[in-house]
Amino acid sequence: MPHPDDFDYYLENGCEVMDHTLGIQKMPDGYHLLLNADGSHFFWMEKETGRESSIHWDKWAVYRGAVTDSSRAGKGE
């Protein structure tokens, strides 16, 4: 079950926040683009709830997934 502490756990275990790699695009409020510990795949995480996406090699696919998830949750961008 997702938990808000998962975000810190991932960072402590080698994952990196990669929001800065999106150029002028920004992740939706409360969402972060993460690179897994071995540097092979991206995923998004909603920090407040600990919800996360499946992994993907394409950061733009993960970005689009976060935008879609955010709009479905009624949070906007």
Task: Indicate the pLDDT class of residue 43, thresholds 50, 70 and 90.
Answer: very high
Mean pLDDT of the chain: 93
| DSSP 8-state class, residue 20 | G
- pLDDT of 29 > 90? The answer is yes
Q: Give pLDDT, residue 69.
A: 96
Geometric angle at alpha carbon 70, from 50 and 52, rounded to 5°: 30
